[in-house]
Amino acid sequence: MAPMVRSSFLRVYVPVDQATFSVLELPEAPVTSSTPVRAGRYGLVDEPLVEVVHVAQWGGDRYVCPRRARLRMLEGVVAFHNAYAEVGGSLMVPEQVATRAAAELRALHDREPEQRSHILTSTWHVPLRWFVAFESDDRELLEREDGLTVVYRTPIGEARHRLHAALSILERVDMDETVIQDLSELIEWLDDFPDQALVELDYGSVAGMFDPSELVLDDSAADVWASLEALASDDWEEAARHYGQVAARWSTAMAVSFSN
């Protein structure tokens, strides 16, 4: 059996009254810390392709987030092949596999042009850029059947505002282009969703890499924003201190990710 891969998730939920009929027909996903993610062929990760919908109650309203597992798998194969084509990517994803995936992806979009990926997945850690979309008040500690986890939720308008504000700060201080590009791509992804959507960061099974007492004290979004606000004030020493705190918290998890 392929080994289980601990994963975190960034999800976008839409109000039920804005979901398509096909989404509303999907069965509801069980409430656990994660969808099972396993190491698949060629070292890539994969998930069960069963189509379900995540449901969230928030602010008195009901929201849904379809998994779109097949769509996300195809997008991942094509993106990986294209990104690493010149540095051995074809060894991980052979050309014929990428070609078939691209053809199926085009056919899927032709049949259902409204389909888009509602979920980003990260293995073994939470990317620090995800925290930029949230603030401390968005944080919840949840006790699930498989253990304690951390979840952040915010309206998509707030998430976009924070991401744009952070991008402006990073551009002004001439931050590394890779950091700016990663944040810009996250903004572009969120721009595809309606203004009434809800954004959720779920530590998922990555939470199991921490002691419960560490999760209680963890507010990574607050540390990330303290660092950004210090940068905005040209206080590089304070910015480095806060960034060092959040980076140290996630260093072990990120080391596992990069070693895989």
pLDDT at 2: 42
d(C-alpha 177, C-alpha 199), whole Å: 25
Read off the tokens for 168: 């402006």
The pTM score is: 0.79
Q: Please give the Cα distance from 13 to 116 (Å, whole number).
A: 12
Burial label, 178 (beta-carbon count in 10 A; 0-12, 13-18, 19+):
exposed
Question: What is the mean pLDDT, run by run of 10 residues, along the chain of 260 residues?
Answer: 68 87 71 50 50 84 81 58 55 64 62 72 88 96 87 97 97 92 93 94 92 93 97 96 93 65
| Residue count (the chain) | 260
The type of residue at 28 is E
Phi, psi dihedrals of residue 209, rounded to the nearest 5°: -85, -5
pLDDT, position 259? 47
